């Protein structure tokens, strides 16, 4: 991350997402799934978003996108591993520039306005993702990231959410310093680290007419009472989300222990420095009274302060908390929907049983 970056507050308040972008993202994830490149969740699918920024309307319009090259594994025994990685990055950048040049030739919006990634359950916020978000927002303050949830989409609900780093998080990311003191002074928590923007999906007029005709057609109306809407089908996804939540909670518990130890050591260090400073000041006052030169304070200032025993300060803890919150929201939504479906299915089953009994009684009475 660069340290010489001017933080500019974004002015975009909502996003107008073209339906073409939605179809491309869904097709990208599903194609890698069916090709066996990715797992069931469709992780690691990413791409670049292009569009336009309308400052007068505080609107970001995303009109097109294209996938980026997947990272290839590097062999550890290769002697030219750094050179190979650098060559791969250069090739990746060249392919991106070529695609943008083709967009420009075809008179398509070629201005980069962010990127998209697919993550199961809408989570997956990592240190690499924060670095990518910082790089894009440093390039343009209006840039965003779209997080696509393939699992929820395959369950019948399209899930695409737009995020960006808050101004306080951008400031800390520019310094690449996530010490507890700086995070506390910035008032940063996992709740205000990211900002979510509302998304409006834009469709063409012909598409709207087609959807209206499908809604009014007899085949659609006869199928809307189908029992497939009562299918739960979320046991595996709910189990995975709970397991991921448990892993995040375990990491948070370890981080809390490290933070507690750091707080105790920091308080002990501050008390020791304060007592030594007071003692040195009293000694200097006595030396000045005797006409002797005062002693310097450099040796006290050079006392090494304790360090938080984590890789990236509080960044990993903030991301784990945000991931846990996203997983909890997914579990809450799925559970509430399943409970509603169970109650509806129970009511429908009771109604069918009552109707069957009435028909049986009527047939018996008619035979008599």
The residue extents of the domains of the chain are 14-224, 247-367
Is residue 75 pLDDT above 60, yes or no? no
Beta pairing class for 59-67 and 144-148: unpaired
Distance in Å from the first CA to the final CA of the chain:
88
Which residue matches tokens 């972008």?
A: 21
Is residue 41 pLDDT above 50, yes or no? no
- pLDDT category at 164 given cuts 50, 70, 90 is very high
Beta strands in 80-141 (DSSP E): 112-118
Q: Which of 44, 307, 293 is nearest to 180 (CA)?
A: 307
pLDDT of residue 72: 55
Model confidence pLDDT, tens digit, residues 247-284: 888 888 888 888 888 888 888 888 888 888 888 888 88
Model confidence pLDDT, tens digit, residues 302-342: 888 887 777 777 888 888 888 888 888 888 877 777 777 77
Is residue 240 pLDDT above 50, yes or no? yes
Which residue matches tokens 């990685």?
A: 85
Question: Of the CATH numbers 3.30.70.260, 3.40.47.10, 3.40.50.1820, 3.40.140.10, which one belongs to the domain with range 14-224?
Answer: 3.40.140.10
**Whole-number mean pLDDT of the chain?**
80
pLDDT of residue 149: 87
Which region among 258-262, 352-356, 358-362 has the lowest average model confidence (pLDDT)? Answer: 358-362
Beta strands in the chain (DSSP E): 14-18, 46-54, 59-67, 112-118, 144-148, 160-165, 194-197, 199-202
Question: Per DSSP, what are the bridge partners of residue 6?
Answer: none
pLDDT of residue 76: 47
- pLDDT category at 39 given cuts 50, 70, 90 is low
Is residue 22 pLDDT above 90, yes or no? yes
pLDDT of residue 200: 92
Helices 235-290 + 315-367 axis angle, to 10:
160
pLDDT of residue 2: 45
Question: What mean pLDDT is predicted for residues 103-120?
Answer: 89
Question: What mean pLDDT is predicted for residues 352-361?
Answer: 61
346 Cβ neighbours under 8 A, 6+ residues apart:
none
């Amino acid at each position: 991350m660069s340290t010489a970056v001017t933080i500019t507050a974004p002015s975009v308040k909502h996003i107008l997402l073209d339906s073409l972008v939605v179809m491309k993202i869904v097709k990208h994830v599903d194609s890698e799934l069916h090709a066996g490149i990715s797992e069931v969740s469709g992780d690691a699918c990413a791409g670049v978003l292009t569009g336009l920024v309308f400052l007068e309307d505080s609107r970001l319009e995303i009109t097109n996108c294209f996938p980026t090259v997947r990272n290839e594994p590097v062999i550890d025994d290769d002697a030219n591993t750094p050179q190979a990685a650098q060559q791969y990055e250069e090739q990746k950048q060249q392919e991106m520039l070529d695609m943008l040049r083709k967009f420009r030739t075809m008179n398509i919006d070629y201005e980069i306005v962010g990127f998209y990634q697919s993550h199961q359950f809408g989570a997956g916020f990592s240190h690499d993702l924060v670095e990518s978000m910082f790089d894009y927002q440093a390039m343009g303050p209006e840039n965003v990231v779209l997080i696509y949830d393939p699992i929820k989409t395959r369950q019948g609900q399209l899930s695409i959410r737009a995020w960006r780093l808050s101004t306080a998080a951008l400031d800390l990311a520019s310094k690449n310093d996530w010490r507890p003191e700086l995070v506390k002074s910035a008032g940063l928590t996992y709740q205000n680290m990211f900002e979510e923007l509302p998304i409006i999906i834009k469709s063409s007029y012909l598409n709207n007419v087609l959807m209206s005709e499908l809604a009014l057609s007899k085949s659609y109306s006869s199928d809307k009472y189908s029992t497939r809407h009562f299918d739960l089908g979320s046991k595996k996804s709910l189990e995975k989300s709970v397991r991921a939540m448990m892993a995040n909670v375990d990491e948070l518990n370890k981080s809390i222990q490290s933070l507690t130890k750091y707080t105790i050591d920091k308080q002990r260090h501050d008390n020791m420095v304060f007592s030594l400073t007071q003692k040195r000041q009293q000694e200097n006052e006595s030396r000045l009274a005797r006409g002797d030169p005062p002693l310097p304070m450099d040796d006290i200032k050079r006392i090494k302060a304790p360090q938080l025993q984590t890789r990236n300060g509080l960044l990993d803890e903030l991301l784990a908390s945000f991931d846990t919150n996203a997983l909890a929201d997914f579990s809450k939504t799925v559970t509430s929907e399943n409970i509603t479906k169970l109650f509806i299915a129970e009511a429908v089953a009771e109604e069918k049983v009552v109707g069957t009994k009435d028909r049986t009684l009527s047939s018996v009475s008619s035979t008599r």
